[in-house]
Amino acid sequence: MPFRLDARTLDGGEQVTSLTLETSRLGPIDPRSLTTGTFAVHAAATSPIPLDPSEADLVTFDLDRTVTEARLDRRGDVVLELESVEGQVGGGTLGYLPSRGRNVRLDLAYTVTQRRPVVGRDRRPIAIGELVQGDLTNPEVDAFAHGVSRSGTKYRLYSPPRGGSGGRRGKRPLVVWLHGGGEGASLQDGYYDNETTLRANRGALGFATPEAQRIFGGAYVVAPQSTSFWMEDGDRFAPIIREIVDEVVRAHDVDLDRVYVAGCSNGGYLTMKVVATYPELFAAAVPICGVVGPFGDATGPLIPDDQLAAITTPTWLVASRDDGTVPPMDNTVHAHELIPGSLMTLYDTVTWDGHRFDGHWSWIYVARNDPQHQGTHVWQWMAAHRR
């Protein structure tokens, strides 16, 4: 009997939030025979690429998951809801490898064991048999198609539905999402999955939500995946982003006057780099906790002051004062002071739904359309601009 892993991308990353047992083929089950103790769930995870010894405890896990509810869905399949909160130990689908600076999609092994009998509506016992793990599904992520550019860069693409609210009766906007450093490939390990860009946070997914689609009038959303990390070579990656935009425009009914770009951390840097390099391409830009000053071993700024001062694309910068990864004063605030007419939202902390996240994770606010200026929120501001 197969079961499915049901996942959702939370603000802090993707988690397996429930399991669906394909029991409908066995006939109607009496829901009264289902309790949180009917089935036990165990989860284990290993890394798809070799780990440094110090990383094992950070990435792998082998533990029991708590079942919070057992119910029937509309098909008659048994659904086991699992305890799932931000930072849930053993709930995630990704692991961060400090040695690579990368998130990787974990190899998950779930085991479901029946502890108590299940009966049909006729009160006769139902033999469920061996339960075998099947696919992992995440409807928001699965809505993004896979693509590869002519030069070999992978990307995911959301296409707005035809007809109805946010339909495609005319040309539609395009939102380009540029991920952070942790979501690039690790080519030295043969790892280039085109998955972590949508599973590590809600940056791209936010623009595909019904709310965002209503605001933009039905937008395409493209999320390229770097072959390394954007800050490694912005001069090389900026033309690749343009290439992907051009390919999506040629293949779909995109309004060239409504192409927008947003990105976080490494992607915040590349957001400013591409609008500095291609001032005619984008209608608006939202760099989030982006790097412009010296970083790492670099001795000079990643984006010189004269290039920032020459940006003409309407720009709204976002960061948090408690960002310990990319100092906001030297980067976001500095860029804001130089980019003509730019807006800036500087939060004190990154806190959402009562959970305080790492101060670097200010992309959460943009993914939730929280930044506002004089009563206008950031998605509405973006959508109002034309090239």
CB-based contact 343:74 (threshold 8 Å): no
Q: Which residues contact 201 (CB under 8 A, 6 or more apart)?
A: 9, 11, 12, 13, 180, 264, 361, 363, 364, 367
pLDDT of residue 293: 93
pLDDT of residue 169: 57
pLDDT of residue 78: 98
Q: How far apart are CA 228 and CA 259, in angstroms?
A: 25
**Which three-class secondary structure state does DSSP give residue 187?**
helix
The reported pTM is 0.95
pLDDT of residue 163: 64
pLDDT of residue 164: 47
CB burial readout 273-294, b (16+ within 10 A) else e: bbbbbbeebbbbbbbbbbbbbe
Q: Measured between alpha carbons, how far is residue 242 from residues 15, 278, 280 in Å?
A: 33, 8, 11
Residues of the chain with pLDDT under 70: 163-169
Q: Which residues contact 151 (CB under 8 A, 6 or more apart)?
A: 240, 243
